[in-house]
A and B are shown apart, each in its own frame.
Chain A
Amino acid sequence: MIRFEQVGKRYPGGHDALRGLSVEVARGEMTFVTGPSGAGKSTFLRLIPLLERPTRGNVIIDGVNLAGLPRRRIPFLRRRIGVVFQNHRLLQDRSVFDNVALPLIIAGRPHQEVQRRVRAALDKVGLLTRERADPVTLSGGEQQRVGIARAVVTRPPVLLADEPTGNLDPALSEEIMQLFQQFNQVGVTVVIASHDLSLIQRLGHRRIQLEEGRLA
C-alpha cells in the first residue's frame, strides 16, 4: 500500500531528514514508526500525503508513484489518506460537528450523507453528545478524538497518525490506540509514529525503527 524506495529528504539549509529509506507497508497492516526525535518519523509521514515532496527516491502509494502526480491531483490523493496530528489541528471557530463534516463537504457529499456519516464517526469515538460543542471546551483527549473522527469520516483506506498520544495520560493513550486498532480491523492501513515504547510493545504490531533517516 505504501512503498518507499531509496527516499531522501533534504531540507533547505542542508539538514537530511531521510537518507535513502526503503520500506513497505502492506495493505491492511498496522505499523508503528519509532525512533528518537529527529530520526525522520514526521518526515516519513508527511511524504505520504505529499505535504512535502522527497528530494530523491520514489514514494509509491497504492501503485501510484507520487513523483508523477501533478499538483492538481494532490487533493484527491489526500482524500484517500486520513491524517491525525499531535496538536489536533481543529478549526477553533467551528463546532465539533462542522470540523468532522469538513472532509465530506470538501468531497461534495450530499447533505443527508454528511449528517449520517458525521454522527457515525462521532459515535465511534464516543463524542456523539458533544457535536454542538466548540473544540476549545473539550479536553485534550476529546480534541484528539475529534481529530480522529475527522480523519476517518470519509473511510479512507490509509490512516496516518503523528504522535497521536503525545500529550495524553497512559489510560487515554491506550483508549486512542484501541480506536486505531478497531479501524485496522475493518481493513484500514494504519501507520502511527510514536514514542510510547511500552504501549507499542503491549499492542504488539510491526515496528519500523528509524535512526538518522534510515532503518535502524
Chain B
Amino acid sequence: MRGLDSLKRWLEQHARAAIGALGRLARRPAGSLMTTAVVGIALALPGGFLVGLDNLEAATGGWDGNPRLSVFLEKDVPEDQQARMADRLRAMDPVLGVERIDPDTGLAELREQTGLADSLSLLDDNPLPPVLDARLIEGIGSNATDTLLAEVQSMAGVDEIRLDRLWLERLQALTSLAGRVVTLVALLLGLTVALVVGNTIRLDIANARPEIEITKLIGGTDGFVRRPFLYAGLWHGLAGGVLAALLMNVGVALITGPAGQLAALYDSGFVPTGPGLSGTLALIATGGGLGLLGAWLAVGRHLADIEPGH
C-alpha cells in the first residue's frame, strides 16, 4: 500500500509539474511560439534532407549495386561458340551470372525502350552484335577487374568489352557523401535545437528566481525545483517536432506533383514518399529528446546558483 501511495504521489507531482510548465508556456505565447518555430525549422531541415536521400535511393534502387560487364562478340561467332563463351565467362570468379543477348532480341529491346522503331525499321539488316551481359559481384576491386578484363579480352571472338559501373559508382559515392553531409548538418542543427531550448529555459529560470528561492527556502528539493523546467524543455521540443513533421509533410505534398512529372519523363513509376508514420514519430521524439537535453543543460548550469541564503 505504501508503495502504491508513493507511486501515486510521484505521479501527482509529475503531472503537476508537467501541467504547470504547459500553463507557463501558454502565459507567454509569443516567446513560446518563437522557440517552437526555431526548433521546428531546425528539425525540419535535416529531416527533409534525410527523406530526400531516402527518395533518391528509392528512385535509383532499380539499378542494383552490381557492376555489369558487356562483352560484344564478333558478328560471325556461331551460336554454339557463343554458348561456350557464356559458360566460360560464368565460370570466372567475379561473375555472378551471364545473360546471352542475340542480335534480334537486342534490336527488339532497343526498339521498345527508345521509341526509335520507325528509324530502326529503315535498316536493311540488324547491325547489332551478339552480346554477353555479365553481372559481377558487388565491390569488386580494381585488380580483380583488370585480371577479369584481360582474361575476357583474350577469349577468341570477343570484339569489345565495356564495364558500365563507373557512373553507378559515382552516383553511389555522391549519395554517400550527401548522406555524410546530411548527418553532419543534422548533428549541428540538433545541437542548435538543444541550445535554443536551453537558452529559453535559462531565461525562464532567471524570471522565476524569486519563486525558486522561496521554494528552496521552504524545503523544495532540487528535483522539485528542476522538474517544471525540464518539462518546459520537453514541451518546447515536442511542439517543435510536431511543427517540423507538419512542415515536412506539407513540403513533400508540394513536391509530389513536379517529382511525379519528372519521373514520368524518365519512364519511371517513382513516387516520392514523405517521412511516414514512423518517421514522423521519430521526428517528434527527437524534438522532445533534444528539448529535454537543452533544458537539462540549462537547469544543471543555472539552478545551483540560486540559493535562498545569498
Contact = CB atoms under 8 A, between A and B. Distances in A.
A96 to B, nearest CB: 14
Given A89-B214, A91-B210, A108-B13, A51 B220 contact: no
Given A52-B309, A91-B210, A103 B219 contact: yes
Contact of A110 (B9, B219, B224): B9
27 contacts: A51-B217, A51-B309, A52-B309, A72-B222, A75-B216, A75-B219, A75-B221, A76-B219, A77-B219, A78-B218, A83-B218, A89-B210, A91-B211, A102-B214, A102-B215, A102-B218, A103-B218, A103-B219, A105-B16, A106-B218, A106-B219, A106-B220, A106-B221, A107-B219, A108-B12, A108-B13, A110-B12
Counting chain A CB atoms within 10 Å of each CB, which of B10, B213, B220 scores highest?
B220
B308 interface: yes
A79 interface: yes
Interface in B183-234: 210-211, 213-222, 224
Interface residues of A, number: 24
Contacts of B10: 108
A46 interface: yes
B211 A106 contact: no
A105 B221 CA distance: 12
Given A105-B16, A108-B13, A89 B215 contact: no
Given A91-B211, A108-B12, A110-B9, A79 B222 contact: no
A206 B10 CA distance: 43
A82 to B, nearest CB: 8
Given A78-B219, A106-B220, 11 more contacts: A49-B217, A75-B219, A75-B220, A75-B221, A75-B224, A78-B216, A78-B217, A78-B218, A102-B214, A103-B219, A108-B12
A150 interface: yes
Ordered nearest first, which 4 A-B pairs have the shortest CB separation? A79-B219, A78-B219, A51-B309, A75-B221
Interface in A61-86: 72, 75-79, 83
Interface of A: 46, 49-52, 72, 75-79, 83, 89-91, 102-103, 105-108, 110-111, 150
A196 B8 CA distance: 47
A150 B308 contact: no
Contacts of A110: 8-9, 12
A65 B254 CA distance: 70
Counting chain A CB atoms within 10 Å of each CB, which of B8, B12, B219, B224 scores highest?
B219
B147 to A, nearest CB: 71
A105 B13 CA distance: 8
Contacts of B308: 51
A28 to B, nearest CB: 22
B221 A91 contact: no
Contacts of A111: 12
Contacts of A50: 309
B220 to A, nearest CB: 5
A75 B214 CA distance: 12
A162 B133 CA distance: 96
Counting chain B CB atoms within 10 Å of each CB, which of A50, A77, A103 scores highest?
A103
A85 to B, nearest CB: 9
Contacts of B213: 89
Contacts of A46: 309
A79 B211 contact: no
Contacts of A79: 218-219
A78 B222 CA distance: 13
B76 to A, nearest CB: 93
Nearest to B224: A106
Contacts of A102: 214-215, 218
Nearest to A47: B309
